[in-house]
Each structure stands twice: as C-alpha cells, then as structure tokens.
C-alpha cells in the first residue's frame, strides 16, 4: 500500500512539473542588423546580451553583421533588447527571421 502511495505521489509530481514547464515557456526570437565592424565589437555585443534578463541564446555573426536573440518574452522584449544594443553604440535594426536566415549561411 505504501508503494502505491509513493508511486501516485511521484506521478502527480511529474505531472505538475511537466505542466509548469509547458506553461512557463514563452520564448521569442528577435533578429537585428547591426553595425559591428570587428571581432571586438562582436564580442562586446555578445557579452552585453548574454546575461541580460530573460535571454536564453545569443548568436552574433560578424560577416553578415547580424544578431539573433532568443528570449523569454515575459522577462524582456525585442524593443528593450534593441535599446540595450543601441545604448552601447551599435545599430539594432529589427529584421525578420527569414531575412536573418538568408543573410547567415
């Protein structure tokens, strides 16, 4: 009987965790055309965004001068991320993800 109760509690816990993860994931992708002109600029932008609130992934690409940021839209926004980039002195022109994919090969 105790084993049955433990199994039931375990199943219930797993169910709650799975539901919380499903409801909690609200990621969005933002792509920007930037004005980085050297590897140091690319590193600066990457490090600037890497630990920003809600940011899950950052990809910078110097040859195409683009930035891709995957973030939790409950904790940050595309506009706020653009402002952070621009505040550091770089351009942050929003582009569509399809355009980004064409530029980055």
Domain positions in the chain are: 26-103
Q: What percentage of the chain carries pLDDT values higher than 70?
A: 78
More confident position, 2 or 98:
98
Check if CATH label 3.30.70.100 holds for domain 26-103: yes
Inter-residue contact 86 to 92 (CB < 8 Å): yes
Query: Is pLDDT at 14 greater than 80 in this prediction?
Result: no
Task: Please tell me whether residue 59 adopts helix, strand or coil conformation.
Answer: strand
Which DSSP state fits 77? -
The pLDDT tens digits for 73-83 are 999 999 999 99
């Amino acid at each position: 009987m105790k084993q049955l109760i433990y199994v039931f509690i375990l199943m219930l816990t797993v169910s709650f965790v799975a539901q919380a993860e499903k409801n909690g994931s609200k990621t969005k992708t933002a792509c920007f055309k930037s004005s980085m002109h050297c590897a140091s600029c690319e590193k600066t932008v990457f490090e600037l965004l890497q630990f920003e609130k809600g940011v899950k992934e950052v990809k910078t690409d110097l040859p195409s001068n683009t930035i891709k940021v995957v973030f939790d839209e409950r904790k940050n926004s595309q506009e706020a991320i653009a402002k952070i980039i621009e505040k550091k002195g770089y351009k942050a022109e929003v582009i569509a993800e399809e355009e980004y994919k064409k530029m980055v090969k």
